[in-house]
């Protein structure tokens, strides 16, 4: 509900809301344009999923005065923090405000629980709330940079590095079992990205985004919800494509490398089919892609997978919505990298499966003792891409 607006800056904010608000279709967006927003999207930035395209959003934001931008950040941080195409620092600032408000809500909930009679005998039910609170406290303090915080649709993107110094972009896509909670645990899914930023060549600083674009498949014996169901990761590809387009708009000209683990490789493959472009993709213990996938001639492809990785049990197998018909090492022209993973052999079936899963998970580790070869190889790729881009 909009409050009464008297000041011109507030009036422009109301007009901007029409730009930010979801619309039913591209046609309705063109008829509902307002002062301060584009009259329509260009063919290169069509309205999709009820929102203006990232490049149009970037142009719109650059046209606003500093005062109007400040007003939008103050009164509409949730919309600004989720608007693809806006500068990264603006989105991080907006999402810090969103996190602060969510912290207040969590404190109210936790205080109410503490006052219950009788007092709770266990904190197990409170653990998710306490975990979220600890994470968002780090966001508010500035220790964590949220580029996207949309828990209502299972999406979160954490940024690592300095956007003012970056010469290249690393996108990290976690796979099976990833969730918003995966960012909040003691060993978060951001560890790989963190290592790359911390150990980048000093001449080619890296800006990294760990991307959960939508809910990912979870390990399950139920074919409908497990990683074998290819529709889950495919659906996340559309969200990933839009995020990538927004990053391209915010950082024009910077090379991008997409590091995709497990089912995350189908997210990357689906994103390409939805229009995303990458300078390089690295499939780490990946599932590959679904039938009909074709590579992009302008993208370099790499794959690393242990000899006994559990995903090799069904690589290249697909029947409809189950499986992935194009194995990760079957991409035309892909460069196969030996991950250098060694683990204790086992002859028992249970031991072999456990070993395959351990080797699989190591390729997403940010610990050099577990994943040193691939960490170093990706570092070299990022350095090479940045140097090629700058001539």
**Residue 391: what pLDDT?**
76
pLDDT digits (tens, 9 = 90+) for 292-336: 999 999 999 999 999 888 888 878 999 999 999 999 999 999 999
**Residue 78: what pLDDT?**
95
Architecture of the 154-390 domain: 3-Layer(aba) Sandwich (3.40)
pLDDT digits (tens, 9 = 90+) for 367-384: 999 999 999 999 999 999
pLDDT digits (tens, 9 = 90+) for 3-55: 333 333 433 444 444 455 443 333 333 333 333 443 333 333 333 334 689 99
Domain spans of the chain, in order of start:
8-75, 154-390
Q: Provide the whole-model pTM.
A: 0.86
**Residue 42: what pLDDT?**
34
C-alpha of 243 from chain center: 7
What residues of the chain score a pLDDT lower than 50? 1-18, 21-50, 346-350
How far from 381 is each of 310, 374, 388, CA to CA, in Å?
26, 10, 10
**Residue 194: what pLDDT?**
98
Q: Which residue has the tokens 């780490």?
A: 284
* Contact by Cβ (8 Å): 159, 88: yes
């Amino acid at each position: 509900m909009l409050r009464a607006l008297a000041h011109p800056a507030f009036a422009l904010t109301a007009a901007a809301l029409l730009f930010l608000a979801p619309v039913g279709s591209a046609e309705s967006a063109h008829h509902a344009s307002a002062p301060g927003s584009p009259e329509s999207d260009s063919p290169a930035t069509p309205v999709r999923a009820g929102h203006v395209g990232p490049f149009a959003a970037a142009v719109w934001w650059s046209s606003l005065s500093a005062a109007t931008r400040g007003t939008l950040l103050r009164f509409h941080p949730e919309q600004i923090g989720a608007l693809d195409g806006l500068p990264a620092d603006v989105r991080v600032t907006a999402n810090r405000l969103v996190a602060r408000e969510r912290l207040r809500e969590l404190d109210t909930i936790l205080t109410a629980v503490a006052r219950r009679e009788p007092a709770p005998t266990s904190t197990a039910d409170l653990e998710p709330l306490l975990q979220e609170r600890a994470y968002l406290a780090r966001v508010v303090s500035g220790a964590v940079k949220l580029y996207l915080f949309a828990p209502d649709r299972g999406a979160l993107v954490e940024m690592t590095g300095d956007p003012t110094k970056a010469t290249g972009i690393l996108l990290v896509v976690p796979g099976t079992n990833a969730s918003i909670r995966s960012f909040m645990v003691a060993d978060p899914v951001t560890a790989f990205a963190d290592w790359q930023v911390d150990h980048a060549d000093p001449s080619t600083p890296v800006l990294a985004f760990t991307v959960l674009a939508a809910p990912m498949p979870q390990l399950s014996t139920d074919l409908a919800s497990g990683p074998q169901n290819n529709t889950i990761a495919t659906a996340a590809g559309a969200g990933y494509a839009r995020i990538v387009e927004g990053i391209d708009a915010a950082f024009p000209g910077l090379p991008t490398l997409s590091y995709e683990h497990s089912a995350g490789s189908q997210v990357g493959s689906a994103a390409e089919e939805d229009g995303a472009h990458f300078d390089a993709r690295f499939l780490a213990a990946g599932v590959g892609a679904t039938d009909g996938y074709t590579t992009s001639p302008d993208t370099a492809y790499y794959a690393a997978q242990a000899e006994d990785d559990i995903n090799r049990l069904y690589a290249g197998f697909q029947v409809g919505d189950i499986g992935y018909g194009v194995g990760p090492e079957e991409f035309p022209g892909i460069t196969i990298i030996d991950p250098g993973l060694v683990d204790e052999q086992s002859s028992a079936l249970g031991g072999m499966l456990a070993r395959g899963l351990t080797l699989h998970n190591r390729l997403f580790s940010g610990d050099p003792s577990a994943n040193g070869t691939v960490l170093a190889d990706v570092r070299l790729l990022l350095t090479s891409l940045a140097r090629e881009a700058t001539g």
